[in-house]
Amino acid sequence: MWKNYAAACLVTLFAAALLFSPQTGLQAAKYGMDMWWKTVFPSLLPFFILTELMAGLGVIAFFGSLLGGTMQFFFRIPGPAGVSWMLSLASGFPSGARMAARLRAERSITRIEAERLTAMAHSSNPLFILSAVASGFLKNPEAGFLLAAAHYSGAFFVGLTMRFYGGRPEGQAKKVKIEPLNAFKEARKKDGRVFGTMFADAVLSSVQTLMLVGGFILFFSVLTALLNEYGAAAFLFSFFPAQETSMPIARALFAGFFELTSGSQLSASPSIASSTGLLLISAILGFSGLSVHAQVAAIISSTDIRYGPFFAARVLHGFYAAVIMTLLLSRPFSFPAASLSFVPEHGMIFTLLFLGMASILLAFRWSKSREKRI
């Protein structure tokens, strides 16, 4: 019961702070809305819709059957979960949690496998790292490649670590390997919806999820701004002996704990050395902030997937990313000038083109096999 009292008191204090500082709340809400509308919504909506369609049409089942052995060897997750993990690398969070919740709701994976997938299929959108953070906050496009290398390598090592989570249940039946074409046809038959209905459902479900994501971004943007406005951060730092030069680092970590965008922006300030800023941003992106944690918790709340493994994996991701960034900074890299003109959207375009070509080839092969049967 004490949790209810504590939650009621905190919410009341938050409402009172917002009433006494409406301008601060308004500016923070505008900032969060701008980030959601200009970056998060357009970058995630196409991927959300396409993954829904790919699942309904059986494409994920097809590629999952092809990748089943590899994914079981490295991460101890089935093939469809491995496809979801690779798609999440390009689309960004919280798409991995959404795909894990869908697979779990369909009983395509066990709870342990879903928790492994939720923990590992969680990485930032390349558009955000290369454009918003590197070019926008740091004013250094070359740094984006270092951040991306540390972030995605850290996600890979999180997957390797999480393969040991949950153990191997005794007496677990060995899964029968299904041929890719048979997996494709079975998944399509199981769904059964016509394409028009499937597309409409995909759009509605994707927009609903993104509205939820936008609400969390706005809420935590306002919360972080009010905590700074009323000196909560300064009060917390007063308990820890720190030099004046380390205060900007502490403020960046404090902001990143709640919302990764604010923490990344503060880490890129001129008062923090560039190498230290890269380490901070790597750790913040790996942990993702409580705003993203709340998004994931809301998405998996309708399933039996537990939040604890996800939180532990985010701590590991932040640690791995910071260590990898330290190793990368120990030996300076130089990128060709042509690579610095890379537009983040190109990565997603190439992914979509690859998946589109693979789907066309799949359809062509299936039609040929059908002709032979007839």
What is the DSSP code string of 209-255?
A: HHHHHHHHHHHHHHHHHHHHHTTHHHHHHTTS---GGGHHHHHHHHH
Rg, Å, the chain Cα set: 22
Read off the pLDDT of residues 169-219 as tens digits, 9 standing for 90 and up: 544 545 556 676 777 777 778 778 888 888 888 888 888 878 888 888 888
Mean pLDDT, residues 297-311: 91
Q: What is the pLDDT of residue 53?
A: 84
Torsion, CA 176, CA 181, CA 186, CA 189, rounded to 10: 180
Q: Considering only CA atoms, which of 145, 165, 148, 135 is closest in space to residue 286?
A: 148
Mean pLDDT, residues 108-129: 86
pLDDT at 336 over 60: no
Q: Which of 42-51, 120-129, 138-147, 280-289 has the lowest mean pLDDT?
A: 42-51
pLDDT at 168 over 80: no
Mean pLDDT, residues 345-373: 50
Mean pLDDT of the chain: 78
359 band by pLDDT with thresholds 50, 70 and 90: low
Residue whose tokens read 């990313």: 321
Domain boundary assignment for the chain: 27-164+179-373
Q: State the Cα–Cα distance between residues 53 and 43, nearest whole angstrom.
A: 17
Read off the pLDDT of residues 69-117 as tens digits, 9 standing for 90 and up: 777 788 888 877 777 777 777 777 788 888 889 889 888 888 998 999 9
Q: State the Cα–Cα distance between residues 332 and 338, nearest whole angstrom.
A: 18
- Please state the pTM of the whole predicted model: 0.75
Q: Considering only CA atoms, which of 41, 123, 43, 143 is closest in space to residue 346?
A: 43
Torsion, CA 317, CA 319, CA 321, CA 326, rounded to 10: -170
Q: What is the pLDDT of residue 316?
A: 95
